[in-house]
Structure 1
Amino acid sequence: MRYPVILRLVVSLFLLAALVSTATAQQLGSQVGGQSSNQGLGDFSLGTAPSQSRPTQSLDKIVAVVNDSVVLKSELDAAVAQVKQRNNSPIGQAPPNVLRSQVLDQLIMRQLQIQQADRDGIKVSQQELQQGLGRIAQRNGMNLQQFSQAVAQSGMNMSDLREHVREEIKISKVRQSEVMGKVSISDQDVDRYLQNQSLRFSRDHEYHLRQIELALPTDAETTTVGVARDRLETLRQQIASGQTRFADVARSVSDGPHAADGGDMGWVSGDELPDSFESALAELKSGQTSDVFRGPNGMYLIKLEDERGSSPQQEDQDKVMVTEAHIRHIILKPTEIRSDAQTRDLAQQIRQRLVAGDDFANLAREYSDDKGTANQGGDVGWIPLNRVSPETQRNIKSLSQGEISRIFQTDDGYEIIKLLGERQRDETQEAKRNKVRDTLGRKRASEQGDLWLRKLRDEAYVDIRLPNYQPTPGSPGS
C-alpha cells in the first residue's frame, strides 16, 4: 500500500478556526444528542501539507503570551500555511497581517482551553487516546498500524501527533465539563418549540453557508449598532453589484471564526442555526446573499451556497413504530451462600417445572430475585425491545406467544422469560419530542459555549507580540 508523502490534518494539528468556533455547536450539540465527545477527531484526514516541524524555542520567536504559556512564530507560520492550503481560491484582498491575526486568535483560544482543562484536572487515558487515533486512522481508510506507517513516511513524529490528539480530547472534555452542565431542556421548552414549528425550517435540512460578522457587545449603543449595520449594508451592495466577492469581504473585514476561510461555515444542520439565521435564510435561494440582520454576537450577512435534506412534508410522513413485548421473567442471582453453579442448577430445575406445567407467576413469587417484579408474579409489563439488552432481545424474538425461553445469562443473573404478547406502538410523537429536545440542546450548547469562550478570553492574561497585529472586536487582543 502506498501512503501520501505528507500528512495533512484538515482540522489542523494547531486548531484552526473550525475547532474553536462551529465545533462548539457541533461537538457540544452532539454530546446533547448522545454522541461521543471526541467525535471531532474524525475530521483529520490524509493529504498534502507543509512540514510541521517546529524549531527549538531558543531560536524561535514568541508571538503571544497566554497566561503562563506562549504561542511561537513557527506554530503560527504552520497554521497560516494550513489555512492557505485549505483554501482552493487565493486569499484575495485580505492583507497578510489580517490573516495572521485571525489565525493567531484561534491558537490563543486553543491555549486557553487546554489551560482550563489542566486547571480542572482533566486527564486523557491511554484507551481514550488509542480510540482517538483509531478514529483518525479509520477516517483515512487505515488501521492503526497502517496509519502509524503513514505518519512515519510523512516525516512527522508520531509522539507529537499523539500529544496533539491528547490535547483535542482534553479540549472536548473541558467543553463538556464547563458547558454541558449548564444545558437543560424542559418539557415546556419542547412544547413552545413545537407550537412554533410551522414557522421554522426543516430540521433535517443542511445548509452550506458563508457569513460575515461584525462583532458587537450585547449592550452596544444604538449608534454603534447603526454604524455596523450601515457598513455591512454598503458591503452587501458591493457584493450584489459584483464589485467584490462575498469570500473576499469575509476575509478582509469579518470578525467571525471563519473569516480566514472566506466566511465558509461548511455544511451546517438546521438544528444548529440561531433563530436569527433561520429568519434570514427564509427568503434565500442558493447563491443569494441575505439582508443585514442582528444575530447572536453582532451584525451579520450570510450567503446560502447550497442546501440539502428532506422537506417538511416528508418529515410529517415519517412514522416511528416500535415493537413491544409483554413478558414475565424470573431472575436468579448468585449470592455468598449460593454459588454461580448452584444458581444455574436451580434455574434449570425451575425451568423444568415450568415446562411441566407449573404456574410461572407462582414460581416467580417464590424464587425470583428481582424484587421489583417478584410480587407481581414476574410481570414486567410492556417493554420496547429496543430498550433491553441484546441478549434479552434475542431471546424474546425467538419465542412464540406463551412460550418459555431457555435459561440465559445477563448482567443481573440467570433469566427465564415467558412471552405473553407482542404489539406495535406508534412512537412518532415521542421521537419527534426527543428530536426537538436534541435540537434545542444543540442550540443552547452553542450559546453556552460561546459565552464560556468569551469568559475565558475576558479573564485571561494575553500579551500579543505579533508585529502589525490587527485586533478585532471580541478577540483576545482587542
Structure 2
Amino acid sequence: MRYLLATGLALAITPLAFVCLPAAAQSLGFPDDYSLMSRSSDRADAAPAQPSAQTLDKIVAVVGNGVILESELDQAVARIRARAGQRADQMPPNILRSQVLDQLIMQRLQIQRAEERGIEVSQQEIDGGIARIAQQNNMDMQQFMRAVAADSSMTMDQLRTQIREELLVSKLRRQEVMSKVSVSDEDVDRYLENQSLRNAQDREYRVRQILLPVVPGADTATIEATRDKLEALRQQIVDGDVDFAEVAADYSEGENAAEGGDMGWMEGDYLTRSLRDVVPTLAPGETSEVFRDDQGFHLVQLEDIRGNGALADQPKVMVEELQTRHILLKPNEIRDDERTRELARQIRERLEAGDDFAALAREYSDDSATANQGGDLGWVQPRKQRLDPVTRRQLEALAPGEVSPVFQTNEGYEILKVTDRRERDQTREAARERVRRTLGEQKSVEEGELWLRKLRDEAYVDVRMPGYQATGGG
C-alpha cells in the first residue's frame, strides 16, 4: 500500500549561506565502492565496515558531506516503478534512474541544509505525522501498524525516518522560502482587475445607480458636501439600514431614479468608461465605493452577472456574525483564582437581576482593549475567527439578548452577551482570499524552483552513476 504524508509544503527563497567547493568533498576521500553497514553510512564520518563481513555497495553520487548508494537508488527506482506501473516501464531505464537519482540528490541536499540550520523534528511531531497518515487511510493506530507490518516495502522504522526527513524539508522550506513570499492587497487588486478586463466583454451586468450631479464650476465646498452626502448614504446601505433601490428612488438624480436606479442588463462592451472601471470588480449584491466622473458622484450596486466566467456562477459565501459584549476577569497577585471566580459569579447574579452589562464591563472587566467600550467586541465571526473553543461554543449557543453563564478560558473567567445576529455576504472577500492563495502558491513555486537550483549550484555534487543523464531535476 502507499502511504502519503500531507505536509502541505509551499516553496519560497532566501540566499544560501554556504558554498561547498569540490576540493572540500574530494578531501573526504570517498572511494568508488562503499561497504554498507546501515543508512547512517551516508555520513562522511561513518566507520568503515570490514569488507569480508559486508556486501560491497557502489556509490552513485557524492552529495555534500554524504553519499548516495546504488542500493538506495535501486530501492527508490523500484518504488517508482511499483507506483507508476506502465508509465515507468515506457521510459528508458537510464533516464528513469537519472530522474530518480536527481530527486534523491535534491532530497539529500535539503536534509543536509536543514541539519546545518539546526532544524529539529521531535518524536511527537513524527508521531503526529504517523497519526495523520493513519487517519488519511481511515485507520486507527493499531490497524495502521498492522498494515505497515504486512507491507514488505517499508518497515515502521523506515516510515518514521521518511516522515522525519519530510518534516525537516518542510520546516526548511517554510524558513528559507515561504517566509519570504508575500502577496499584497495591490497584487490581489491587479489580478482581479486583469481578470475582470479579460472577462468583461463576455458578460452582462444588471446594475443599479445613484447619481448626485455636480454642476460645472461648482465651488469646493459644494463638491465636498455632495460627496459627503453620498458617502453617508452608502454607509447606511452597507450597514443594512436602508435598501439601495429606496435610496436611489429618494435621492438619485439619474434618469433611472424612479425605477430604484435600475439600469437594466448592460453588455460589458457597452459599459461607460466610469462604469467599466468599477462594475466588473464587484460581486453580485456588492455596493461600490463613491466615485466621480464629469456628471458628478456615483454609487452603483451590482445586482447580478450572466455570461462567461460570471461571479454569479460562483458559490455565494454567507458568514454568520454575532454582535457581542464580554466581561473578562483575570486572576492576579491580589485576587486569586477562587476570589476571581466568586466575583464573576456575583457579576452574573447582578446581570440576571437586571444590571446593565456595559456598565458592569466598564467597572470590572480586565480586558483593557474593550472595558472602556462596555466590553464591546463588535461583530464576531465564531466559525472564522481564532477564538478559544469554549468561547466559541458559548457564543454559538446564545440568542440575541441572552447572557452566558460564567465559564473559564485560558485567560480567566468570562461572561458573554450576544446583542444581535446577522448573516453577511462574504463572497467578495472569499474570492479575494482564493486569489491570494493562488498568487501565493504561484510565487512559492517560482521562488522554490530558484532556491532549489541555487542549493544545487552551491553544493558539491559528484555523480558517479554509469549512463547518468542530467534531467533538470536539480
Instruction: Bin the TM-score by the shorter chain.
Output: 0.5 to 0.7
What does the per-residue CA deviation read over 1:426-472, in whole Å, with 9 as the maximum and x for residues that have no partner? 11111111111111001111111101100111001011111111224
Query: With structure 2 as the length reference, what TM-score do the two structures score?
Result: 0.64
Q: Determine if the alignment matches structure 1 residue 441 to structure 2 residue 440.
A: yes
**Does structure 1 residue 195 correspond to structure 2 residue 158?**
no
Change (3 A) 1:199 1:69: farther
Using a 3 Å threshold, how does the CA distance of structure 1 residues 91 and 357 change in structure 2: closer, same or farther? Answer: closer
Displacement of 1:317 after TM fit? 3.8
Equivalence for 1:343: 340
Query: What secondary structure does 2:342 align onto?
Result: helix
Matching residue of 1:462: 461
Kindly indicate whether the alpha-carbon contact (under 8 Å) linking 1:64 and 1:463 is maintained by their aligned counterparts in 2.
Answer: yes
TM-score (norm 1): 0.63
- Matched residues in 2 for 1:401 and 1:445: separation? 44
Q: Distance in 1 between matches of 2:373 and 2:4?
A: 58
Cross-structure match for 2:399? 400
User: What is the identity, as a one-letter code, of the residue corresponding to 2:423?
Assistant: Q
Q: CA RMSD in A?
A: 2.6
State the secondary structure of the residue aligned to 2:370. helix
Structure exhibiting the larger radius of gyration computed from Cα positions: 2
Closer/same/farther in 2, CA of residues 326 and 154 from structure 1, 3 Å limit: closer
SS of equivalent to 1:65: strand
Report the Cα distance in structure 2 between the residues aligned to 1:118 and 1:96, rounded to whole angstroms: 33
Q: Which string of whole-angstrom CA distances, capped at 9 and with x for unpartnered residues, describes residues 145-182 of structure 1?
A: 33223333335432232112111111111111110121
**SS of the residue aligned with 1:357?**
coil
Q: Is 1:131–2:113 an aligned residue pair?
A: no
Is residue 115 from structure 1 mapped to residue 112 from structure 2 by the alignment? yes
Match of 2:147 in 1: 150
Work out the CA distance in 2 between the residues paired with 1:347 and 1:106. Answer: 60
User: Structure 1: which amino acid aligns with 2:194?
Assistant: N
1:28 and 2:28 matched = no
- What residue identity is the alignment partner of 1:195? E
Q: Secondary structure at the match of 2:177?
A: helix
Matched residues in 1 for 2:157 and 2:104: separation?
20
Which string of whole-angstrom CA distances, capped at 9 and with x for unpartnered residues, describes residues 310-344 of structure 1?
x9457744211111111222111111121111111
Identical pairs, percent: 57
Structure 2 CA distance for aligned equivalents of residues 324 and 94 of structure 1: 56
Q: Which amino acid aligns with 2:391?
A: T
Q: Which moved more, 1:458-467 or 1:358-367?
A: 358-367
Q: Is the 8 A contact 1:29 1:443 kept in 2?
A: no
Return the alpha-carbon distance in structure 2 between the equivalents of residues 471 and 396 of structure 1: 59
Q: Classify 1:389/1:369 alpha carbon distance in 2 versus 1 (closer, same or farther; 3 Å).
A: same
Q: Aligned match of 1:184 in 182, 185, 188? A: 182
Question: Which residue of structure 1 aligns with residue 162 of structure 2?
Answer: 164
Q: Which consecutive residues of structure 2, in runs of 5 or more, have no partner in the other structure?
A: 13-35, 42-48, 50-55, 200-307
1:98 and 2:95 are equivalent in the alignment: yes
- Is residue 29–residue 441 contact of structure 1 (8 Å, CA) maintained in 2? no
Q: Which amino acid in 2 is paired with 1:111?
A: R
Give me the whole-angstrom Cα distance separating, in 2, the residues matched to 1:355 and 1:378.
17
Asked whether the equivalents of residues 55 and 74 of structure 1 are also in contact (C-alpha less than 8 Å), the reply is no
Q: In structure 2, do the counterparts of structure 1 residues 372 and 92 end up closer, same or farther at CA, with 3 Å as the change threshold?
A: closer
Matches within 5 A, 1:251-262: none
Q: Give the letter for the 2:459 counterpart.
A: A
8 Å Cα contact 1:182-1:448 kept in structure 2: no
How many residues align? The count is 325
Q: Aligned-pair distance for 1:92?
A: 5.6
Question: 1:357-372, aligned counterparts within 5 Å?
Answer: 357-372=354-369
Taking the aligned partners of 1:76 and 1:418, their CA distance within structure 2 comes to 63
